[in-house]
């Protein structure tokens, strides 16, 4: 592969001390200087020109100036730049209909000829004939014309494609390149690195230049090593026939990074499921009966739970598919930024309604049932319901509502501030916090009426997940699920950086300015809420069994000191399924349908334990009392309406 070259972009320097700045960069280890020249036509700005190049060349005659010509007439300026002292002339493919003639005239005056392509120009526009004629290809990673733009990572596949086609050609990247983005550039195969503010604005530019160079050289070494292994035909054996002695050492950083990522995602997802399961508990029927008999107050707290029966479970994959396809089409044909703005507004408003009740429930779970009693003077209550009316029956489809009290209003104000910070910063940690609250609320409110319904739900969404992750590419040309998940920038997923170890090393060695761009692994809320609802059902079954065997007036929704064999086994099944998902995702470097592993692991864990304990019949025929109560209430309303 060609030699690594670092070319600081002079446009980011102190132009009032131009010659000094150029010399400073060369003293700090730069190989070239990148000179941006703009004519005000190809791009709106007018910058530099032949006189500036001549001034620098006169003061520093040995400097190699890489002249990036953002001009609408590249043929017009060739002789002027050559006479001024330019060494390399890079023209834009978009600015000419005859690039080969431009290359011929550049070389005729003794300069290196290079061609640049904008972010919107595909790599296939570079023909083999043109590539063999030029000395370098520049891939713009921002739109030309202004400094300080955000790095466009979607340009990296173009770099990789060009490197695969032209192994010995210089490939340059320009725009938003620095310590945070150099890894992506180096891994794609770029060897000429243009960096502006990342170098000139750093207190130690020599350290930044060395870091950029090291990253590229390490990437080149990895690529060469992989190529040699392929040529040898035995990836685990040296040419001498002996096993490679350092393979485990080279693999250790990858294993360490994957282990940290899996551990963080496991902790985040499992703690959310665990908390949501306990928050979903209600006071057992046996306790309510004892309290009524003894004249004690009965827990009549309305928590707005929505029971799910087998019919609902069959329909959920259908409704989920409709929503998923709608989002996919929206992202494909509508303006992404507008969609994301609407999403931010929706989740901002929803957070104010969802998070305070969850915080109130969690505070009671942690500190006691009566901890906030004096703050809960009701101020406003509103309920809304939707029902399906048939000639012989009436069935509830959805129930929603909210109540406001002093505690909710104080928490709502705090949540509004949290959401405001998230909307402004889009920080992944805040997104995770909000997403976790939504997941807990979902597990709290959605309650399965039986394990049969749970098995139907997990089985249906098992097929749903497989189809939309893998099968959808057959007719859509890409994975619909992956497309929506990666484009949807909102609190509907838990994300964990895969490159935490690399970030720690970069910050430790080069300071916070070297913090790399995050590369995330994600887990959708559906992969938390759906198995979480089933895990919560296992806990509710444990509570029912314990309260039936040992009824007591103190056995309310906040009493947790009872045996939980099914819950613990199901949690272990969830953890096992999640670990399997992460490992397969890392091995194949592709998004995985998590429910492919979570649905069987959760279902089988409960079934195997019930068979082992001889309680399979009991488990199969058990009906969740909380959903029975809701069904009874719905029937009473229907009867009253019919009578009226």
Residue tagged 């009906």 (tokens)? 623
CA angle 405, 411, 416 (to 5 degrees): 120
Task: Output DSSP code: residue 606.
Answer: H
Active site residue 36: yes
- Cα dihedral 35, 40, 45, 46 sign: positive
Please identify which of the residues 36, 66, 202, 465 carries the catalytic annotation.
Answer: 36
Q: Give the count of alpha carbons within 13 A of 398, CB side only.
A: 4
Cα 90 to the center of its chain, rounded Å: 36
The answer to whether the CB of 436 falls within 8 A of the CB of 494 is: yes
What whole-number distance in Å separates Cα of residue 96 and Cα of residue 211?
Answer: 36
Relative to beta strand 170-174, strand 136-140 is parallel
Task: State both tokens at 201.
Answer: 């604005």
What whole-number distance in Å separates Cα of residue 406 and Cα of residue 21?
Answer: 61
The residue among 269, 299, 283 whose CA lies nearest residue 560 is 283
Contacts with 429 (C-beta within 8 Å, 6 or more apart), sequence order: none
The 3 state secondary structure assigned to 200-234 is HCCCCHHHHHHHHHHHHHHHHHHHHHHHHHHHHCC
Distances (CA, A) of 59 to 49, 54, 149, 567: 16, 9, 31, 76
Contacts with 492 (C-beta within 8 Å, 6 or more apart), sequence order: 435, 438, 524, 525
- Cα dihedral 118, 121, 124, 130 sign: negative
What whole-number distance in Å separates Cα of residue 443 and Cα of residue 540?
Answer: 12
The answer to whether the CB of 121 falls within 8 A of the CB of 93 is: yes
Please identify which of the residues 31, 39, 66, 174 carries the catalytic annotation.
Answer: 174
Relative to beta strand 192-195, strand 112-117 is unpaired
Residue tagged 């979902």 (tokens)? 442
- Catalytically annotated residues: 36, 174
């Amino acid at each position: 592969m060609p030699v690594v070259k670092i070319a600081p972009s002079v446009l980011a320097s102190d132009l009032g001390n131009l010659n000094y700045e150029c010399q400073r960069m060369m003293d700090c280890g730069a190989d070239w200087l990148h000179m941006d020249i703009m004519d005000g036509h190809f791009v709106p700005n007018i910058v530099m020109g032949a006189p500036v190049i001549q001034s620098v060349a006169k003061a520093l005659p040995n400097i190699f100036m890489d002249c990036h010509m953002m001009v609408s007439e590249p043929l017009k300026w060739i002789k002027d730049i050559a006479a001024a002292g330019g060494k390399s002339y890079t023209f834009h493919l978009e600015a000419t209909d005859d690039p080969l003639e431009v290359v011929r005239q550049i070389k005729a005056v003794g300069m290196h000829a290079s061609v640049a392509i904008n972010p919107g120009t595909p790599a296939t526009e570079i023909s083999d004939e043109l590539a063999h004629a030029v000395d370098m290809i520049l891939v713009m990673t921002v739109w030309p014309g202004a400094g300080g733009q955000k790095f466009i990572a979607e340009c990296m596949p173009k770099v990789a494609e060009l490197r695969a086609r032209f192994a010995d050609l210089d490939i340059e990247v320009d725009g938003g390149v620095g310590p945070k983005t150099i890894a992506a550039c180096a891994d794609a195969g770029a060897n000429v690195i243009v960096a502006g503010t990342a170098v000139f604005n750093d207190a130690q530019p020599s350290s930044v230049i060395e870091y950029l160079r090291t990253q590229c050289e390490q990437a080149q070494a990895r690529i060469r090593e992989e190529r040699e292994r392929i040529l040898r035909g035995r990836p685990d054996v040296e040419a001498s026939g002996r096993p490679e002695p350092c393979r485990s050492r080279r693999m250790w950083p990858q294993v360490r990074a994957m282990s940290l990522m899996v551990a963080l995602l496991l902790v985040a997802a499992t703690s959310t499921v665990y908390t949501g399961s306990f928050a979903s508990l209600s006071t057992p029927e046996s306790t309510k009966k004892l309290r009524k008999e003894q004249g004690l107050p009965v827990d009549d707290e309305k928590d707005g739970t929505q029971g799910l029966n087998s019919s609902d479970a069959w329909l959920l994959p259908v409704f989920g598919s409709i929503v998923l396809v709608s989002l996919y089409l929206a992202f494909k044909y509508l303006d992404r930024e507008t969609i994301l703005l609407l999403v931010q507004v929706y989740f901002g408003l929803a957070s104010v309604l969802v998070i305070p009740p969850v915080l109130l429930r969690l505070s009671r779970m942690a500190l006691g049932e009566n901890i906030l009693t004096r703050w809960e003077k009701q101020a406003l209550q509103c309920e809304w319901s939707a029902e399906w009316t048939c000639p012989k029956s009436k069935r509830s489809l959805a129930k929603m509502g909210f109540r406001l009290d002093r505690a909710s209003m104080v928490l709502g104000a705090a949540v509004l501030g949290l959401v405001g910070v998230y909307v402004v910063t889009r920080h992944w940690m805040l997104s995770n916090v909000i997403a976790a609250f939504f997941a807990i609320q979902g597990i709290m409110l959605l309650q399965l009426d039986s394990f049969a319904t749970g098995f139907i739900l997990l089985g249906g969404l098992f097929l749903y997940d497989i189809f939309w992750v893998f099968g959808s590419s057959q007719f859509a040309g890409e994975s619909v699920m992956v497309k929506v998940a990666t484009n949807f920038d909102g609190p509907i997923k838990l994300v964990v950086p895969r490159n935490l170890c690399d970030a720690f090393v970069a910050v430790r060695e080069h300071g916070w300015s070297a913090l790399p761009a995050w590369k995330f692994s994600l887990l959708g809320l559906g992969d938390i809420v759906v198995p979480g609802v089933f895990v919560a059902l296992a806990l509710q079954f444990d509570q029912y069994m314990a309260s039936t065997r040992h009824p007591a007036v103190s056995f309310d929704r906040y009493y947790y000191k009872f045996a939980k064999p099914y819950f613990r086994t199901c949690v272990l099944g969830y953890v096992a399924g999640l670990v399997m998902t992460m490992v397969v995702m890392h091995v194949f470097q592709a998004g995985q349908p998590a429910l492919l592993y979570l649905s069987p692991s959760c279902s089988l864990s409960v079934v195997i334990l019930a068979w082992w304990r001889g309680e399979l019949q009991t488990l199969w025929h058990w009906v969740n009392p909380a959903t029975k109560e809701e069904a009874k209430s719905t029937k009473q309303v229907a009867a009253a309406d019919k009578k009226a």
